Structure 1
């Protein structure tokens, strides 16, 4: 399966997950999420998600700093993809990070081209979902079907 297909499937699956669902037993994050490089990606995505949510509430514009920070996050996601690919580890995560890196600039372009309030709101909602996926794919432990033991990434 191509990286694009895996990324699209994972993003749809994550977007469809119930918002308030909590696991029965607390599972530690995978080892990858504890690495400073990946923790930095999570922190940046959380910050950008909060800023995008604030823009959606206030209808404020995306300033130059937001655009730059989003582009920087996309670059870090691509670097994360390349690091994981070089390690030969979890192929799904590798592909999903590549997909996110490629989709972030597309979502920014959609926001910039939004012609009216409804289109802008849709663009921001999609960007927020993508940023949330960026966080969750790194901090969520591998599932039983991923053939990886939790923490063994």
Structure 2
């Protein structure tokens, strides 16, 4: 019993001698890291969103109007211009990736932008090389989804890293 009593007394003395501010601080909820800052308002990312939206609208219009189904469409001026714009957008996505990488911020967005920059030329090529109307429509739909993702990943509120 002596041993148990001396431990209890030592604990009581320890608590009496401790700084009450330490106990108060320990009772507070842990500090929450501030939420990541959105890049959606920065000029580069605004430009990416604007261009993606414009190209998505253009591609959807081709599908709705049936223009994409016409023979020779992928060899025409409209598609040639689109390819130039899509490649420029892919380069901007890579630039966005590199900006975020340099900052050491937003791992998810950084990775997604890199993926989009790599996928964009592949999706454009899939539309261009499709041998049937059905294949071209599937490739067109995938391109629309990619362009939409490009907008949504930038405009979505940033999430803290896990």
- Coarse TM-score class (shorter-chain normalised): 0.7 to 0.9
Contact residue 53 and residue 151 of structure 2 kept, 8 A: yes
Match of 1:89 in 2: 105
**What is the CA-CA distance between 1:52 and the residue it aligns to?**
0.5
Give structure 1 regions of 4+ aligned residues with deviation exceeding 4 angstroms. none
Name 1:42's counterpart in structure 2: 49
**What residue number does 2:151 align with?**
135
- Separation (CA, whole Å) in 2 of partners of 1:147 and 1:79: 22
Aligned length: 117
- 1:44 is displaced (CA, Å) by 0.1
Paired with 1:124 and 1:56, the residues of 2 have a C-alpha distance of: 8
1:47-86 alignment to 2 at 5 Å? 47-60=54-67, 61-62=73-74, 63-86=79-102
- Partners of 1:137 and 1:75 in 2: CA distance: 17
**What whole-Å deviation, never above 9, does each CA across 1:40-84 have from its counterpart, x for those lacking one?**
000000000000101111232352111100000000000000000
Output the CA distance in 1 between the equivalents of 2:101 and 2:66.
39
Structure 2 gap segments, 5+ residues each: 1-36, 68-72
- 1:147 paired residue number: 161
CA distance in 2, matches of 1:83, 1:65: 27
- Following TM superposition, by how much is the alpha carbon of 1:105 offset from its aligned partner in structure 2, in angstroms? 0.2
Question: Partners in 2 of 1:123 and 1:57 — Cα distance?
Answer: 14
**Secondary structure in 1 matching 2:144:** helix
Contact residue 38 and residue 158 of structure 2 kept, 8 A: no
Question: Normalization by structure 1: what TM-score?
Answer: 0.73
